[in-house]
Amino acid sequence: MASISEKMVEALNEQINAEIYSAYLYLSMAAYFDSIGLKGFANWMRVQWQEELTHAMRLYDYVVERGGRVKLYAIEEPPSEWESPLTAFEHTYEHEVNVTKRIHELVELAMSEKDYATYNMLQWFVAEQVEEEANASEIVDKLRLIGDDGRGLLMLDTELGARRFVPEQEDQTQ
């Protein structure tokens, strides 16, 4: 018997889908950046792809741990073209704002269900979304500042190419 409500399980399953879609979107963006010769931008997006998959698995493992049943849904096809690196990162920022909204809705549901364990677990995602939005916003700001300066774009490409995926540390409190 599940120790988590069916309503909460369904909402978390939908969020697993959303996190996998996010990974798919960022992998599509990586392919776009590779196609225009911006390998550093592509690298940044590939790291983002890996992070989103770990977010999905964090939720997956939580649902299982609470006795719920994970159900995987079809993943929507992401866009594959953007007008420019700036529009791609504006899309990234807008997407992360939407993910934040979804996480907040999950927090509200957990509170209405009096599911304090899920509420507690979701606090990690609340904090993570602050970082996700800030990272995307910072790159949008840099791209706006760069404008049409190819040298600036190449410098940013080098900077973004230095990003590496660092697997999240397991929670030591469990």
The residue ranges of every structural domain in the chain are 6-161
Distances (CA, A) of 111 to 22, 38, 107, 152: 25, 44, 6, 46
- 2 pLDDT tier (thresholds 50, 70, 90): low
pLDDT (tens digit per residue) in 69-101: 999 999 999 999 999 999 999 999 999 999 999
pLDDT (tens digit per residue) in 97-119: 999 999 999 999 999 999 999 99
**Exposed e or buried b per residue across 115-139, where buried means at least 16 C-beta atoms within 10 angstroms of its C-beta:** beebbebbeebeebbeebbebbbeb
pTM of the model: 0.93
Distances (CA, A) of 35 to 28, 68, 90, 108: 11, 41, 19, 41
pLDDT (tens digit per residue) in 38-68: 999 999 999 999 999 999 999 999 999 999 9
Mean pLDDT of the chain: 95
Q: What is the CATH class of 6-161?
A: mainly alpha
